[in-house]
A and B are shown apart, each in its own frame.
Chain A
Amino acid sequence: MTDNGQVKIRTERLNLHYGAFHALKDVDMAVPPRMITSIIGPSGCGKSTLLRCLNRMNDLIGTARVTGRILLDGKDILAGGTAMTSLRRRVGMVFQRPNPFPLSVFDNVSYGPRVHGELDRRRLAGIVESALRATGLWETLKDRLNEHALSLSPEQQQRLCISRLVAVEPEVLLMDEPCSALDPIATGHVEDLMKNLAQNYTIVIVTHNMQQAARVSDVTAFMYLGRLIESGPTKDIFVKPKEKQTEDYITGRFG
């Protein structure tokens, strides 16, 4: 997958059915650590479904049935006995629309650590500061920590949601169209943030915006009709894809 062949997450023969609908078909994908992997493909190809498998968000959908393996650092997260709270701390998700809690900035960021048992006010303040620094919000918000999160701009709200994840020290960040509700300037800022975060975190992003995948990701995976058609270094996918279906999609011949 990458030059040194390291893998943070690997899916093996991953299949998912929503009732009778076969949404993921034998997906074998490798996600390298501390890089950005983007998943692209036309609407309904299964890319968001695949992303949601990576921290078992699909468990919340009653009709979803998953088979195969998803190895996080070599350990199957689909196996019985996987602790969901711990899994979702290690693998966090950012959604399409910023979804801060209707609480203050401080309470949004400290929410996760408190759930995980951190109650010391001074330590929480330290966590909030470093999480806000990680997303570039600290300088703007350090004097506004008690302000209501919903009063922030959309870009700040999305950064806050990322801070909220960072506060629980995850290993993997899943992002589902994280910039689709943002204007081009804010999108540029969030993409820059993603690049910085990738030095410490493994990022998997689903995006409809192919230029965004080309700009920010190290690895690109193309999905079509529930299958992973091709995955490889982004520069290869966008200059010389191996599969005709990939070529046809990225050049706008279908999809």
Chain B
Amino acid sequence: MRILLEREIDRLKKLILGMSAEVESEVHTACNALLQRDDKTAQALIDDVDKVDTMELDVEEECLKILALHQPVAADLRYIVSVMKINRDLERISDIAVHMAERTLKIFAEPDLLLPAQLSDMSVRVQAMLKKVLDAFVRLDVEAARNVCMADSEVDTLNREVLRQVKEGVLRKPEQFDALLQVMHVSRHLERIADHATNIAEDLIYMVEGRIVRHSPEVSDKG
């Protein structure tokens, strides 16, 4: 019985790790396209929109199958339930990466626009959070997950700073309004990716410790 369940869980682990790698790479691509003004890469990301959606369905079906056929309990149950939630967060992150690429193309329509410097800093931090939480998921490293929760507030601060600069930009160069609006959206997208990374960290803590830490400010510091 145990052997059959372990085989299923191993299979699920491979699926979710494959999806994690794909989503991480999409975010990386979206950030690079923006910062290096690479419209071809942005367009390629938009065209490849279905890949992660298919993976999400596979993971969900696998989880439902295990729940129905093996009725897992304790650590196994927490693993499956957490994977279902992480699956959803990864799919959302992937959608956001595509949205970023779409906004990026609109920003490029205004060749003279200078991106706020914080956007680059934000993209580095958000990618680091995502990488860290996905590594923590592989190693079941709760400490690393907690650090990811803490890092979220720094991204929130940067997001607020970008919004301030966008406001100033609109006042200074109203003709760039449309492009600046897209910059604001991109910043918001990055901030949302950080939120999803924090969700994953919280699910990881639940998976390992059986403690629900969402909405408890001492463990997760989500803005």
A122 at the interface (CB under 8 A from B): no
B69 at the interface (CB under 8 A from A): no
Cβ of A247 and Cβ of B2 under 8 Å apart?
A: no
Q: In the bound complex, what is the Cα–Cα distance between A240 and B77 (angstroms)?
A: 9
Known: A239-B210, A240-B210. A252 touches B74 (CB 8 A): no
Contact string against B for A residues 235-255, beta-carbon threshold 8 Å, 1 for contact and 0 otherwise: 000111100001100111100
Contact string against A for B residues 152-173, beta-carbon threshold 8 Å, 1 for contact and 0 otherwise: 0000000000000000000000
Q: What A residues does B1 contact at CB under 8 A?
A: 252
Known: A239-B210, A240-B210. A247 touches B74 (CB 8 A): yes
Q: Which residue of A lies closest to B5 (CB)?
A: A252
Chain A contact residue count (CB 8 A cutoff)? 13
Cβ of A251 and Cβ of B71 under 8 Å apart?
A: no
- Beta-carbon contacts under 8 Å, A195-216 to B: 210-211, 214
Q: What B residues does A238 contact at CB under 8 A?
A: 73-74, 77
Q: In the bound complex, what is the Cα–Cα distance between A251 and B73 (angstroms)?
A: 6
Q: Which residue of A lies closest to B76 (CB)?
A: A251
Q: In the bound complex, what is the Cα–Cα distance between A252 and B77 (angstroms)?
A: 13
How many inter-chain residue pairs (CB < 8 Å) link A and B?
Answer: 30
- Beta-carbon contacts under 8 Å, A16-56 to B: none
Nearest chain B CB to A27 CB, angstrom units: 23
Cβ of B210 and Cβ of A214 under 8 Å apart?
A: no
- Beta-carbon contacts under 8 Å, B60-75 to A: 71-75
Q: In the bound complex, what is the Cα–Cα distance between A210 and B1 (angstroms)?
A: 13
Q: What B residues does A247 contact at CB under 8 A?
A: 74-75
- Beta-carbon contacts under 8 Å, A166-220 to B: 210-211, 214
Q: What A residues does B75 contact at CB under 8 A?
A: 247, 251
In this complex, which of A211, A238, A247, A251 has the most chain B Cβ atoms within 10 angstroms of its Cβ?
A: A251
Q: What A residues does B210 contact at CB under 8 A?
A: 239-240
Q: What B residues does A239 contact at CB under 8 A?
A: 73-74, 77-78, 210
Q: Which of B2, B73, B78 contacts A214 (CB under 8 A)?
A: B73
Nearest chain B CB to A172 CB, angstrom units: 27
Cβ of B78 and Cβ of A240 under 8 Å apart?
A: yes
Q: In the bound complex, what is the Cα–Cα distance between A253 and B73 (angstroms)?
A: 12
What are 5 of the A-B contact pairs (CB < 8 Å)?
A214-B73, A239-B210, A241-B74, A250-B74, A252-B1
Q: Which residues of B contact A (CB under 8 A)?
A: 1-2, 5, 71-78, 210
A214-B73, A240-B74 given. 20 additional CB < 8 A pairs? A210-B73, A211-B71, A238-B73, A238-B74, A239-B73, A239-B74, A239-B77, A239-B78, A241-B74, A246-B74, A250-B73, A250-B74, A251-B2, A251-B72, A251-B74, A251-B75, A251-B76, A252-B2, A252-B5, A253-B2
